[in-house]
Amino acid sequence: MPIHYSNVEQCVDDVLAKLGNTLVIAIPLGLGKPNHLVNAFYRRACQNPSVQLTLLTALTLEKPTGASDLERRFLQPFVARVFGNYPELEYAAAVRKGQLPDNITVEEFFFKPGSWVNSGYAQRHYSSINYTHVARELIARGVNVVAQMLSKRHLQGEIRYSLGCNPDLTLDLIPLLKAQQAYGKDYMIVGQVNANLPFMYHDAVLRREDLHGVVDNPADDFTLFGPPNMPVATQDYLLGLYASTLIKDGGTVQIGIGSLGDAVAYCCRLRHHDNARYRTVLSHLGMTERYPDLIAKLGGVAPFSQGLYGSSEMFVNGFWHLYQDGILKRRVYDDIALQRLLDQGEITEQVTLATLDRLLRDGAIQERLSERDFSYLQRFGVFRESLVYQEGYILFPGNARCVANLNDPSMRRLIEEQGLGDRLKNGIVLHAGFFLGPQSLYRSLADLGEAECKAFCMTAISRVNQLYGHEQLATRQRRDARFLNTTMMMTLLGAAVSDGLDNGQVVSGVGGQYNFVAMAHALPGARSILMLRSTRIKGDVTHSNLLWNYGHVTIPRHLRDIVITEYGIADVRGKPDAEVIAALLNIADSQYQDELLTTAKRAGKISQDYVIPDQFRHNTAERLEEELAAFKSEALFPSFPFGSDFTPEEVVLAEVLTSLKSRLGSFGGLLKGVLQAVDAGPIPEAAKPYLERMQLDPPSGWRDEFIQRMILAELRAGGHLAND
């Protein structure tokens, strides 16, 4: 049994007493950090320079604060409402300020995108590692403590602890740490219970002997970090529409976080629940006419009658909505014999005597059932929970019993009458390594009953991000897999830039992207789909995200597969370079096509007389906005398809502040903004709720008055003061 502590300081005392003053602590990426416990270790090292503390982690989450007074005015009330009493990680503030003590080291293998680009310390201490190799590298770095947030529940009369949101690396670390212990290297796994963390079953439930210490103090329960849903733009919806046509009914899907993931989930819901309108949208945008063969071969546009199964490193909010809408419903089973029989149609999820006979013939069970066979049949719902195995006999309710022999007629009769379950149990609709999402996702998972919650299996990252060690089962479960990932830039030869810049600065990290791209080439019927916004805006200047080449790549060109922008689909797997260039030019923004084509011709990589087809020469953001506008007026493609933590006023203000920030990024924009502010006129009644929310009604001094006028001008320009 683990030692129980009433406060984090007691736990820190015991860890130091057992392991000494050199601590190399692995803490989960993202949500699963036990913040109070991590802060206690950090403070102890700050107070005692003889403690050498190394923190190894990823995706450090910080509450948004804002870089300007205007942003802080907007964010502070929102953060207080949504993030509650979430305790900040003290090491993060020290890293950001450049004030980390010399005896403390913080290393990460994945950053919150863009958050640490300007931190020299974070950039120097970033480790570029494939997600599936992290556990191995943590051991090499000398990890001797794993600290994790836990959830707890009474199961079968005893308290059990779950890794909840983050079994991803801990499950991979445990056997490696035990192997090290055999050579005299001691370690501890400690956790902090948080009553707000959903309890997840299956692999996420820790064995008691794997947990050394638990801090359980209800006073330390804190609000889970819940990044709010962000608005989904036209670009994202068009990417989602194209992606939704490549997902095959009855197949497998991986979806990433953010607005692109939300767009994919929304478009799949539209395909499933409002198929006629979905097809109308596709036809109006020319999608089905432009790629009929590719869609027919790889995906489809019909509703999901068989449904989808999810296999993803991250359980994103979109998966929850796909599940609620009856799309994420194809169940897989963590047993090769059962999965094979289901795939071949020899059994169904409906349990009959034939199910037993098929399992017997396949060698999954023996004719004379052992206790192991009996447990196997109960685990998957072939036998009812009310049956008991006892020394070669099966006991039925009402004291009836029979020899556990499948060829015994009396046993077969009793089993058929009293022993068979109705349907198979413990089928999984989603395997994932970690989850992170809005508060609504956490509440939904916490409210699930045990049976329904077991449809989601949180497991080791080695299980979901690769095939090694379970190739046969994974191959059967992940049929027709579509691994959808986001990339920042793409070269015309098919290399993807997803994690960093050509000056060496890291934007996010490799994470699992390489794993999924490589797996798509290894699995029969699988495809990697990289989703790319064709352009980005910096200040008031637009840049192309399709480039001739770039000084850093995440996915090499030899792993090129399918690329999607808001302008279309490029299937470039196995194609010659000239065909790859032509296909990617077709989905580039038209203002950059000529320059890119000229560069390709200069390099001799495409024919000198090649001309981009006319149907791809009208790739403009304005055209797409116009084409989608009619459908938006019919309540399709809303800004927040899965709800929002923002109030209506905050939704408008976020748009206004984004526009204002972009405008002020250049001299011309700044000048225009100043002139508009001067000419903003009187304050209409409709503007007052926005100004009050920004603490600008009434203004305090001339500076606030000027900011007030600029916001008023942006509200007018954005059409938010219709009654003005």
Tens-digit pLDDT profile for residues 209-234:
999 999 999 999 999 999 999 999 99
Written as one letter, the residue type at 264 is V
The 496-497 sheet, strands edge to edge: 496-497, 489-491, 546-547
**Angle formed by the axes of helices 259-273 and 234-244, nearest 10°:** 50
Q: 167 falls in which pLDDT band (50, 70, 90)?
A: very high
Note the pLDDT of residue 381.
96
Note the pLDDT of residue 661.
77
Note the pLDDT of residue 681.
64
Q: 679 falls in which pLDDT band (50, 70, 90)?
A: low
Note the pLDDT of residue 686.
87
Note the pLDDT of residue 484.
97
Written as one letter, the residue type at 30 is G
Note the pLDDT of residue 683.
81
Query: CB–CB of 60/92 below 8 Å?
Result: yes
Note the pLDDT of residue 665.
56
Which tens digits make up the pLDDT trace of 382-405?
Answer: 999 999 999 999 999 988 889 999
pLDDT at 675 over 80: no
Contacts for 639-643: CB closer than 8 Å, 24+ residues apart: 639/231, 639/232, 640/229, 640/231, 640/232, 641/232, 641/262, 641/263, 641/265, 641/266, 642/229, 642/262, 642/265, 642/266, 642/317, 642/318, 642/321, 642/438, 642/440, 643/229, 643/438, 643/440
Q: Among residues of the chain, what percentage have pLDDT more than 70?
A: 97
Helix ranges restricted to H, 415-477: 439-446, 450-453, 461-464, 471-477
pLDDT at 680 over 80: no
pLDDT at 451 over 70: yes
Note the pLDDT of residue 398.
84
- Residue 714's H or E segment, with its range, is helix 701-717
pLDDT at 248 over 80: yes
Backbone φ and ψ of 713, nearest 5°: -65, -40
Q: How far apart are CA 411 and CA 480, in angstroms?
A: 41
Total-model pTM: 0.94
Note the pLDDT of residue 547.
98
Average pLDDT, rounded, for the chain:
94
Domains identified in the chain and CATH numbers: 3-220 (3.40.1080.10), 234-331+430-616 (3.40.1080.20), 337-419 (no CATH), 648-717 (no CATH)
Residue 640's beta-bridge partner residues? none
Q: How far apart are CA 135 and CA 177, in angstroms?
A: 10
* Mean pLDDT of all residues in 23-28: 98
Q: 705 falls in which pLDDT band (50, 70, 90)?
A: confident
pLDDT at 84 over 70: yes
* Mean pLDDT of all residues in 406-430: 94
Q: How far apart are CA 443 and CA 93, in angstroms?
A: 29
CA distances from 158 to 153, 155, 161, 212, 339 (A): 8, 5, 10, 17, 32
Residues contacting 271, CB < 8 A, separation 6+: 244, 278, 301, 302, 303, 304
Note the pLDDT of residue 673.
53
Helix ranges restricted to H, 488-607: 513-522, 577-586, 590-602
* Mean pLDDT of all residues in 583-612: 98
Q: 540 falls in which pLDDT band (50, 70, 90)?
A: confident
Spatial CA neighbour of 147 closest among 114, 181, 187, 115: 187
Q: How far apart are CA 166 and CA 435, in angstroms?
A: 7
Which tens digits make up the pLDDT trace of 272-313?
Answer: 999 999 999 999 999 999 999 999 999 999 999 999 999 999
Query: CB–CB of 369/405 below 8 Å?
Result: yes
Note the pLDDT of residue 678.
55
331 is written with which tokens?
Answer: 């169940």
Note the pLDDT of residue 541.
85
Which tens digits make up the pLDDT trace of 170-204?
Answer: 999 999 999 999 899 999 999 999 999 999 999 99
Least confident span in 110-124, 372-386, 536-550: 536-550
Q: Among residues of the chain, what percentage have pLDDT more than 90?
A: 85
pLDDT at 714 over 70: yes
Q: How far apart are CA 629 and CA 214, in angstroms?
A: 54
Query: CB–CB of 492/603 below 8 Å?
Result: no
Higher pLDDT, 673 or 632: 632
Quick one: CA torsion of 131, 310, 381, 338, rounded to 10 degrees?
Answer: -80
Note the pLDDT of residue 389.
95
pLDDT at 666 over 80: no
* Mean pLDDT of all residues in 326-330: 98
